[in-house]
C-alpha cells in the first residue's frame, strides 16, 4: 500500500535519509573515537545547535524538501547521510525529531494528499501466533477473512504484542501505543487549516482539496499493506487509519533517548480506494507531508524558548 521501498526491517536500522538543519552551538559526542563521522560531527556541533532533526525515508519525500529551498545544505557540511535516528540522536545535540513521509490510508474518510497527524503509533507486525486449534483469544482470526466465506484455517489466530521501551533513567515499559510528544502535538493543532497542494499541474488535480487530519492512530509494520480486509481490521480493531513502515521506529528511538518526536504522514493511497487512477497524484502525499513538517519547524523555531 505504501510506495515500495526495498526496506524490510523496521525496528531500528533501516536506511534513513537524514538532513541536519539549523539553529545554535553545543557539544555532544558519543561516537567511537575513530568513527569516520567523528570530525564532521564535532565541527557541526561546534557550529551550531541545539538542532532539530528532520527524518525521512524515501527519495520521493526528499524531493519536496530540496525543491522548497526552505532548508539549504550547509556549504561546509552538506549533511545528507544514510544513518539512523539513533546515530542522529547519539552524535548530535538534537532536541527533537520531526518525521514526515507518506503512508497508506485504511480509512476511506481519508483521501490521497491528506496529511495525518497521529497521536500514537503501534508496531503491528510484532505478533504472537497462536497454535492451530488453540483456545487462546487472539485478536486476529484469519478464518474470519476467508473467501468466499469465513471459516477456520491453519493460520489460526494471532495476538499483537507490545514492545519493550527502555529509556534513560526509567524502568522498562511495555507499550503497544507509542505516543508522539504531547506538547508538540498541541503545537501542531495550529496547522489544522494549512493549505495543502491539490494539483500536480494545471490539469491534474486531486478530486478533493486535501487537508490536515489530526488525532489519528497509525500503524508501522515491515509489510507493504495492500490487503483491504486487513486494513479494515486495523481500522475496526485499533482505530488505525494510517499505515507505514517507519514511524513507530523513529518514535521509539526518540522516546528511548528522551527527545520529543512528531510525525506527519501524507496519504499516498487508500486501501480499497481508486489508487490506480490517482497514481500520478500520489506524489502530492510527499509534498504535502513536507509542507506540514516545514511549517511545524517554523512553529518550534518561533517557540524556541520552550524548546
Ligand atoms: C500534468 O501532469 C501529468 C502527469 O505527469 C502529465 O501527463 C500532463 O501532461 C501534465 N499536464 C500539463 C498541462 O502539464
Ligand atoms: C477513531 O479515530 C478517529 C480519528 O481518526 C476519532 O475521531 C474517533 O473518536 C476514534 N474513535 C474511537 C472509538 O476511539
Is residue 230 over pLDDT 70? yes
d(CA 109, CA 204): 22
pLDDT for the residue 235: 95
Q: Which residue has the higher pLDDT, 13 or 210?
A: 210
Cβ of 204 less than 6 Å from ligand 1 = yes
Q: Higher-confidence residue: 11 or 199?
A: 199
Nearest to 159 by CA among 137, 144, 132: 137
141 confidence band (pLDDT: 50, 70, 90): confident
Q: Please report the pLDDT score of residue 60 as a whole number.
A: 81
For ligand 2, atom 11, the nearest C-alpha belongs to 239
Tell me the mean pLDDT in the region 67-75: 78
Looking at all shown ligands, the one closest to residue 119's CA atom is: 2
Q: How many CA atoms lie within 13 A of 177 on its CB side?
A: 12
Answer whether 199 contacts ligand 1 (Cβ < 6 A): no
Residue-averaged pLDDT of the chain? 80
The number of residues in the chain equals: 307
What is the reported pLDDT for 5? 32
The arithmetic mean of pLDDT across residues 113-138, rounded, is 88
How many A from CA of 103 to the centre of ligand 1? 24
Give the global pTM. Answer: 0.79
Kindly tell me if the per-residue pLDDT of 247 is higher than 50: yes
- pLDDT at residue 216, as a whole number: 97
Site of grid cell 508522539: 180
Residue ranges and CATH numbers for the domains of the chain are: 2-126+161-306 (3.40.50.1580)
Amino acid at each position: 500500500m505504501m510506495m515500495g521501498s526495498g526496506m524490510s526491517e523496521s525496528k531500528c536500522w533501516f536506511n534513513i535519509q537524514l538532513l541536519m538543519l539549523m539553529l545554535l552551538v553545543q557539544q555532544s559526542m558519543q561516537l567511537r573515537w575513530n568513527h569516520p563521522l567523528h570530525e564532521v560531527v564535532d565541527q557541526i556541533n561546534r557550529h551550531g545547535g541545539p538542532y532539530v532533526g528532520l527524518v525521512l525515508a524515501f527519495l520521493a519525500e526528499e524531493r519536496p524538501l530540496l525543491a522548497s529551498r526552505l532548508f539549504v545544505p550547509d556549504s561546509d557540511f552538506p549533511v545528507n547521510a544514510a544513518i539512523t535516528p539513533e546515530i542522529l540522536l547519539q552524535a548530535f545535540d538534537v532536541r527533537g525529531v520531526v518525521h514526515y513521509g507518506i503512508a497508506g490510508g485504511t480509512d476511506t474518510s481519508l483521501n490521497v494528499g491528506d496529511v495525518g497527524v497521529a497521536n500514537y503509533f503501534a508496531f503491528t507486525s510484532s505478533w504472537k501466533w497462536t497454535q492451530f486449534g488453540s483456545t487462546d483469544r487472539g485478536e486476529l482470526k484469519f478464518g474470519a477473512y476467508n473467501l468466499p466465506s469465513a471459516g477456520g484455517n491453519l493460520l489460526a489466530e494471532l495476538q499483537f504484542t507490545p514492545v519493550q521501551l527502555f529509556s534513560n533513567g526509567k524502568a522498562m515499559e511495555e507499550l503497544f501505543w507509542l505516543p508522539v510528544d504531547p506538547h508538540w502535538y498541541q503545537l501542531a493543532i495550529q496547522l489544522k487549516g494549512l493549505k495543502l497542494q491539490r494539483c500536480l499541474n494545471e490539469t491534474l488535480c486531486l478530486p478533493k482539496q486535501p487537508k490536515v487530519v489530526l488525532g489519528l492512530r497509525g500503524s508501522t509494520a515491515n509489510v507493504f499493506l495492500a490487503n483491504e480486509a486487513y486494513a479494515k481490521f486495523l481500522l475496526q480493531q485499533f482505530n488505525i487509519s494510517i499505515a507505514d513502515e517507519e514511524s513507530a521506529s523513529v518514535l521509539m528511538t526518540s522516546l528511548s533517548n528522551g527527545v520529543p518526536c512528531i510525525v506527519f504522514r501524507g496519504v499516498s493511497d487508500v486501501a480499497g480506494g481508486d489508487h490506480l487512477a490517482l497514481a500520478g497524484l500520489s506524489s502530492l502525499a510527499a509534498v504535502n507531508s513536507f509542507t506540514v513538517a516545514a511549517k511545524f519547524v517554523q512553529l518550534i523555531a518561533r517557540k524556541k524558548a520552550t524548546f
